[in-house]
Amino acid sequence: MPGYHTYKTCIDACLRCAAVCNHCASSCTQEKDVNMMAGCIRLDMECAALCYAAAQLMSLGSSKAKDLCRVCADICEACGNECGQHENEHCQECARACRECADECRKMA
């Protein structure tokens, strides 16, 4: 049965992405124009939630892990695109983590 060792690279990418998305969302709340960052914050939180869920299902060897990884790749791509539009370092770091995670999730799915 596939599980943690089979999907370790993708699990690690998901966990890193979730942590960086949480950091980005928190950092965005400290920006001068928080309203302008609302879309970024929302996508950060959604992306982190899905990344954590995908990592958990992969580590459990769930038969639904690949399905969730396809959805995770989509939200990571959307979050990466949104964060990539902002020049601050936390958004740029998040955009990179999201793109890496999307790539790993697509390989897994």
Asked whether the beta carbons of 94 and 23 are under 8 A apart, the reply is yes
The backbone torsions φ and ψ at residue 86, rounded to the nearest 5 degrees and listed phi first, read: -105, 140
Tokens of 24: 């980005």
pLDDT digits (tens, 9 = 90+) for 81-103: 999 999 999 999 999 999 999 99
Predicted confidence (pLDDT) per residue in 26-82, tens digit = 999 999 999 999 999 999 999 999 999 999 999 999 999 999 999 999 999 999 999
Structural domain total, the chain: 1
The CATH number of the domain holding residue 71 is: 1.20.1270.360
What residues make up the domain containing 54? 4-108
User: How long is the chain?
Assistant: 109
